[in-house]
Amino acid sequence: MESLPEGEKYNAVRKEGEALLKKMKPWDEEMVQRKSKAYDDVENYPNKFTANYMFLINQTESDIPRVNQPSLNLLKQMNAEWSILKSRANEILNKDIPAMNKLLWDSGKGAIWKD
């Protein structure tokens, strides 16, 4: 967005780009703790969904130690939460970014890359 030239030609692109960023930021903030920069930062900033989910998956995929029912209940709850987060991500990747790319191509500026 910062590289777009000024002018009315790019107002729609800029507006849609800002809307896309506003949609992506809350999703990212729910998924990953970006404030943690060093090992000790986990004491200052709470883990987000990705760290908690990966920890729980690792704990529940093994029989040693035996997995207890509260962990299985939490895994079920987090699986449901992941389903919602994943559908939001798929909407961004498969609908919003392609629509933004079309606007960018139509304005002569190229596209957003996704891996």
Higher pLDDT, 3 or 48: 48
Look up residue 57 and give its two tokens: 């998956």
Alpha-carbon span 1 to 93, nearest angstrom: 18
Query: In the predicted model, what is the mean pLDDT of residues 61-77?
Result: 84
**% of the chain beyond a pLDDT of 70:** 95
Look up residue 52 and give its two tokens: 């908690």
pLDDT digits (tens, 9 = 90+) for 78-106: 999 999 999 999 999 999 999 999 998 98
How many CA atoms, within 13 angstroms, populate the side-chain half-sphere of residue 37?
1
Q: Which residues neighbour 41 within 8 Å (Cβ) at sequence distance 6 or greater?
A: 35
**Least confidently predicted of 12-21, 68-77, 103-112:** 103-112
Alpha-carbon span 10 to 2, nearest angstrom: 11
Mean pLDDT of the chain: 88
